A = this chain, B = another copy of it.
Amino acid sequence: MGQIITFGEVLMRISPTSNKKFIQSNVVEFYFGGTELNVGISIANFGGDVKHISAVSDDFIGETAISYIRKFGVDTSLISLSKRPLGVYFLEVGAVMRPSTISYNRSHSAFSEIVPEKVNWENALESGSWMHWTGITPALSKGAFDTLKAGLKLAREKGMTVSADPTYRSGLWNYDQDPKEALIELLNYSTIFIGGINEINEVLGTSFGYSNDDFIEASKQLMKAFPSIEKVFDKIRTSLNSSWHKIRARMWNGIEFKETEDLDITHVVDRIGTGDAFAAGLIYGLQQYDDYKAIEFASAACALKHTYEGDVNLTTLKEVTNILGGNTTGRLMR
C-alpha cells in the first residue's frame, strides 16, 4: 500500500459527557474530527501510511489539533496555518428517541478560506497511491472546491485510485455554485463510489428506491454516466432509535452484487463518524482483500466505531479481523 491522501477541514468537537445537554453542566470534552480526517486516522490505526492536508488556526487551538492528528501517526507536514479560527461544532448526544443534535461554527473558518495556492499538490501526492474526497469539502467554499479539484486532477493524472463519498448536505452550500454540477465535476475524477441511493439520485437526477434491485440498476447507470467509476459501495443503517442501530453493506463492482449480514449494535456509544469509518474500512479492505471481504471489513469497522466516543474510529486491525473471524460476543481479552 502506498500513501493514502485525505484533504478536508479539521473541526474541534465539543460536547458534554454522556447524554447531557450544555444546559446541564459546564464540564465538556473535546475531540477533533472532520469527515476526511476521520477516514485518514482510521486507516492509520489499521497501519496505513496516511497524509492529511488541511489548514488550521495559527494559535494554541490549531497546535492542539495538529498534535491530535500526529498522535495517530498521520503526516501533518502539509497542514498550513491561518489567521482565521479553527471550525468548531457543538454536539449534544441523544438517547433512545431523542436525536443527537449538532450546532456548527465553521463558516469563515481557517479551512473554508483555503485557496489552491496554499497546497503544493505535486509535493503532496508524491508518494500517494490513493486519494479520498467527500461532498463536504466542495460545499464549504469556492476555494475549498477549487483546491480539491486541483488535487483530484493531479491524482488521476498520476493514476492514483480516487474514492468519492459525495454526501450532499444542502445546508452547507452557501456560495455561488450549483452543488450538483460541482459533485459531477469531481466524480469525473473518481474511481470508487462510496454512497447510497440518495447520492446516486442526487447526481443522476433519478429516483431509485432502496431495494437491492434498485441499487444494482442505479449503480449501473452511475457507472455509465461516470466511466471512471469502477465500483459502487453502500452502507445501510437501520435505526430502531438513537441507541440501537443495525449496519450492513452492499456493493456492485460491475460484475456481481454482494451484501453482508446485519451487525446488531444494541448499545450505540457514539454514531458520529461511523460513515467515515465505513469508508476507511473499505479503502483499507480493498487494498488487502477481495471486494466482498472488503465490505465485510468495512461493515465491521463501521459497527465498531459506534462503540467509540469522538469522531474518529479508534478500532485496531485486530479488533476488526476478530469480528470477521466470527467473534462478535465481546469475549474479554487479557
Q: Counting CB contacts under 8 A, is A60 at the interface?
A: yes
For A194-208 the 0/1 string (1 means CB < 8 A from B) is 000000000000000
Docked CA distance A105–B25 (Å)? 22
Q: Counting CB contacts under 8 A, is A102 at the interface?
A: yes
Docked CA distance A1–B251 (Å)? 53
Q: Counting CB contacts under 8 A, is A176 at the interface?
A: no
Docked CA distance A272–B67 (Å)? 23
Q: Counting CB contacts under 8 A, is A14 at the interface?
A: yes
Docked CA distance A310–B331 (Å)? 18
Q: Which of B17, B266, B331 contacts A243 (CB 8 A)?
A: B266
Answer whether A306 and B70 are a contact pair too, CB < 8 Å, given A29-B27, A171-B334, A242-B330. no
Residues in chain B near residue A272, CB distance under 8 A: 332
Q: Counting CB contacts under 8 A, is A255 at the interface?
A: no
A244 x B266 contact (CB < 8 A): yes
Q: Which of A86, A95, A304 has the most CB of B within 10 A?
A: A95
A334 x B25 contact (CB < 8 A): no
In chain A, residues 214-249, which have Cβ atoms closer than 8 Å to a Cβ of chain B? 239-244
- Count of chain A residues with Cβ under 8 Å from any Cβ of B? 84
In chain A, residues 154-182, which have Cβ atoms closer than 8 Å to a Cβ of chain B? 169, 171
Residues in chain B near residue A68, CB distance under 8 A: 71
Q: Which of B67, B88, B97 contacts A263 (CB 8 A)?
A: B97
A21 x B266 contact (CB < 8 A): no
Q: What is the total number of copies of this protein in its complex?
A: 6
B23 x A25 contact (CB < 8 A): no
For A19-38 the 0/1 string (1 means CB < 8 A from B) is 11111111111110000000
Docked CA distance A267–B243 (Å)? 7
Residues in chain B near residue A315, CB distance under 8 A: 98
Residues in chain B near residue A105, CB distance under 8 A: 85-86, 88, 105
- Output the least CB separation between A260 and chain B (Å): 14
Residues in chain B near residue A103, CB distance under 8 A: 57, 59-61, 85
Q: Counting CB contacts under 8 A, is A116 at the interface?
A: no
B334 x A102 contact (CB < 8 A): yes
For A290-334 the 0/1 string (1 means CB < 8 A from B) is 000000000010011011111000110001001100001111111
B99 x A331 contact (CB < 8 A): yes
CB nearest neighbor in B for A29: B26
B267 x A92 contact (CB < 8 A): no
Top 5 nearest A-B pairs (CB, nearest first) are: A242-B330, A85-B105, A95-B307, A239-B329, A59-B103
Q: A23-B314, A97-B323 are in contact. List 10 more A-B contacts (CB 8 A).
A: A17-B18, A18-B309, A20-B309, A23-B63, A28-B30, A71-B71, A97-B300, A99-B331, A101-B332, A102-B334
* Partner-B contacts on A (CB < 8 A): 14, 17-31, 57, 59-61, 63-64, 67-68, 70-73, 85-86, 88, 90, 92, 94-105, 107-108, 169, 171, 239-244, 263-269, 271-272, 300, 303-304, 306-310, 314-315, 319, 322-323, 328-334
- 16 A-B pairs, CB-CB below 8 angstroms? A22-B61, A23-B314, A24-B314, A26-B29, A26-B31, A67-B71, A70-B71, A85-B103, A95-B269, A96-B269, A96-B307, A97-B329, A98-B330, A99-B330, A99-B332, A242-B329
